[in-house]
Amino acid sequence: MTNLIEVVLVLVVLTDFFLLGSSRLAACIRIVAIQGVVLGTLPVLGHLDNLTLRLVFLAVGSAALKAVVFPILLFRAMREANVRHEIEPFVGFIASILIGLGSLAVSVWVASRITLPRPVVSSLVLPVALFTILAGLFVIVSRRKALTQVLGYIVLENGIYVFGMVLVGEIPMLVELGALLDAFVAVLVMGIAIDHISRSYDHIDVDELDTLRG
């Protein structure tokens, strides 16, 4: 079963790199949705010997939010904003991939020096979680389109999800559902904000909002 978990974690890394290197917003939304489905299997795969209804419910609920609800909200925001590509990001796509490679190396190095309080199902869990968090943060600060920044936020939350579901594993369900609800509300609010920004300024380039100052 460890092999399956490692395959899932490798897929998460590949989806992170796809997001870093793609300018097509529709493709990025789909790849983040795929990442959500893949991550939804981790609680089940990590606790097959002690599978509970709580874990199954959490896995299904998380996958449904990230693979169905979030994409619907984001595709709607994309249509309303009439934007299809991330054009002229603060950091180019090739440079983003190179920075992603560096971040992956740093994540592996940091993970190798952290002593965990409990054994984990795979040695890849911690570096993948760290890299996913760094990738999400990088997308947030390096892209101009608010919609792409929302995707970065979701990826950041996915990295935290890996920590919570695999490293900790025994978080009360109320806390787990609260984290998912926070992510849902954040994406919903961001989608509404994107719609209002596009209606008012005919674009969703966040750096252009500096013109509102003063």
Rounded CA Rg of the chain: 17
pLDDT of residue 80: 75
* Integer Cα distance of 92 and 68 in angstroms: 29
pLDDT of residue 78: 80
pLDDT of residue 172: 47
DSSP state of 109: H
Instruction: Show the tokens assigned to 20.
Output: 């870093």
pLDDT of residue 177: 55
pLDDT tens, 19-48?
A: 999 988 899 999 999 998 888 888 777 777
Low-confidence stretches of the chain (pLDDT < 50) are: 172, 174-175, 204, 212-214
* Integer Cα distance of 129 and 125 in angstroms: 6
Q: Taking the CB of residue 130, how many other CB atoms lie within 10 A of it?
A: 22
Q: Quick check: 190 and 70 in contact, CB under 8 A? A: no
* Integer Cα distance of 176 and 92 in angstroms: 35
* Own/partner long-range contacts of 110-117 (Cβ < 8 Å, ≥24 apart): 116/167
